[in-house]
Structure 1
């Protein structure tokens, strides 16, 4: 499955597809939680090193996935955000909108529909 691209108009569908894509690639946790990665202890064992690298890489790959699935216009708005979680949290209210924004969109669509009839 290719990750979907958000252009600002398709947030609802994008969010569902993107969460499924991230979950399937074991990156959803990095988007939903901005977890801290503890530093390695002195003289770490191989399992600790591997776990540390996986956690670090997962965060970077999740951020990369989000960068790759937004339009260039949206990318310029999120490129300075420091984590996948911050990007995800920025996109939802920005493109889904709150109740007032959704209400205005519905009103505008109704007016447009009435004008067509």
Structure 2
């Protein structure tokens, strides 16, 4: 071990990254820092370094003298638990405490952004309400999308929170099924998928019932209009009526223009015949 302390910082990193921290025969693997896991990474690193007896090098007061060996080992642990691009940031730090504070300053800012984003998503989740034109599937997809987004940021939504949000946000036409669910089911243990399934079944029943009512209403309206039209002497559509006299569409034989014209010609012919003896 004393030989390792005489290596430069990069040699320490290579040696440390190739092994796990050990205390009493228990393997303590390094957690790797990423752009999104600083909070959990810091907790694991603190636990591992305390197990190694080197955490004092990180949380020591400014005027405390840190044992050089502990400081070197703590610095090696930090170098082995960060990716290469982050290593360049802390490679020139002289102590483990300086390296730790540098990482904290960099990633705690990201962590604050993440927390602000979570608060924004929670506000959106709270304001989310199902539109009358939406289906249960569409609205449940919105709830799941926000829940997944928050989960990716470390804020997990439980099934009972999702179920209660779903039941509280649907239109009034679902009140009957919601009342039944609340009366006969345990909302604290009901899976979110089950709540969706129950509401979808009720939604399908409503849709089918609405379709039947619409067809019946349309039929009734047509019958009423036809009867009222006949009662009022509603004009008949003769565009498809064929005249038996001239074989043309659009009128009956008794009102055929050609028949009337022929009748007028016959009358004129008869009148002319009657006038001839008088002229003689």
Query: TM-score, structure 1 length as denominator?
Result: 0.69
2:52 matched residue in structure 1 = 25
Is 1:70 equivalent to 2:97 in the alignment? no
CA distance in 2, matches of 1:103, 1:9: 11
1:44-70: per-residue Cα shift (whole Å, max 9, x none)? xxxxxxxxxxx2111111001000000
State the structure with bigger RCO (CA 8 A, min sep 6), 1 or 2: 1
1:79 to 74, 82, 91: 91
- 8 Å Cα contact 2:39-2:111 kept in structure 1: no
Aligned length: 99
- Return structure 1 stretches of 4+ with deviation > 2 angstroms: 34-37, 98-111
Shift of residue 10 of structure 1? 0.6
The reply to whether residue 10 of structure 1 matches residue 37 of structure 2 is yes
Q: C-alpha offsets along residues 32-55 of structure 1, whole Å, 9 cap, x if unaligned?
A: 126436xxxxxxxxxxxxxxxxx2
Deviation at 1:81, TM superposition (A): 1.2
SS of 1:6's partner is coil
Tell me the distance in 2 between the aligned counterparts of 1:67 and 1:85: 12
Give 1:102 deviation, angstroms. Answer: 4.2
- Rate the CA distance shift 1:86–1:102 in 2: closer, same or farther, 3 A: same
Q: 1:81 to 1:69 in 2, by over 3 A?
A: same
Structure 1 position 90 matched with structure 2 position 102:
yes
Q: Any unmatched runs of 5+ in structure 2?
A: 1-27, 125-141, 147-280
Distance 1:108 1:77 in 2: 31
Equivalent position SS for 2:73: helix
How far apart are the structure 2 equivalents of 1:100 and 1:70? 20
Gaps of 5+ in 1: 38-54
